[in-house]
Amino acid sequence: DVKVTQSSRYLVKRTGEKVFLECVQDMDHENMFWYRQDPGLGLRLIYFSYDVKMKEKGDIPEGYSVSREKKERFSLILESASTNQTSMYLCASSLVSGTLVAGELFFGEGSRLTVL
Amino acid sequence: QKEVEQNSGPLSVPEGAIASLNCTYSDRGSQSFFWYRQYSGKSPELIMFIYSNGDKEDGRFTAQLNKASQYVSLLIRDSQPSDSATYLCAVAPNYGGSQGNLIFGKGTKLSVKP
Query: How far apart, in Å, are the Cα atoms of A25 and each of A5, A78, B62?
Result: 6, 21, 30
Chain centre distance of CA B96:
20
Query: Inter-chain contact B100–A94, Cβ cutoff 8 Å?
Result: yes
pLDDT band at A99 (very low <50, low <70, confident <90, very high): very low
- A27 in contact with B, Cβ within 8 Å: no
Tell me: pLDDT of B22 over 80: yes
- B86 in contact with A, Cβ within 8 Å: no
B42 vs A contacts (CB less than 8 Å):
109
Query: Inter-chain contact A103–B88, Cβ cutoff 8 Å?
Result: no
Nearest by CB to B88, which of A40, A43, A95?
Answer: A43
Residue B82 phi, psi dihedral angles, 5° rounding: -70, -10
Tell me: pLDDT of A95 over 50: yes
pLDDT of residue A19: 97
Tell me: pLDDT of B86 over 50: yes
Mean pLDDT over residues B14-42, rounded? Answer: 93
Nearest by CB to B43, which of A30, A90, A94?
Answer: A90
CA distance B103 to A115: 27
Per residue in A4-49, pLDDT (tens digit) is 999 899 999 999 999 999 999 998 888 899 999 998 888 999 999 9
Chain centre distance of CA B77:
14
For chain B positions 29-48, those within 8 Å of chain A (CB to CB) are 32, 34, 36, 42-46
Nearest by CB to B92, which of A50, A103, A108?
Answer: A103
pLDDT band at A107 (very low <50, low <70, confident <90, very high): very high
Mean pLDDT over residues A66-89, rounded? Answer: 97
Query: Inter-chain contact B34–A104, Cβ cutoff 8 Å?
Result: yes
Q: Are B50 and B75 in contact (CB under 8 A)?
A: no
pLDDT of residue A2: 66
Q: Are B11 and B19 in contact (CB under 8 A)?
A: yes
CA distance B82 to B33: 23
Cβ neighbours around B14 below 10 Å, total:
10
Query: Inter-chain contact A48–B106, Cβ cutoff 8 Å?
Result: no
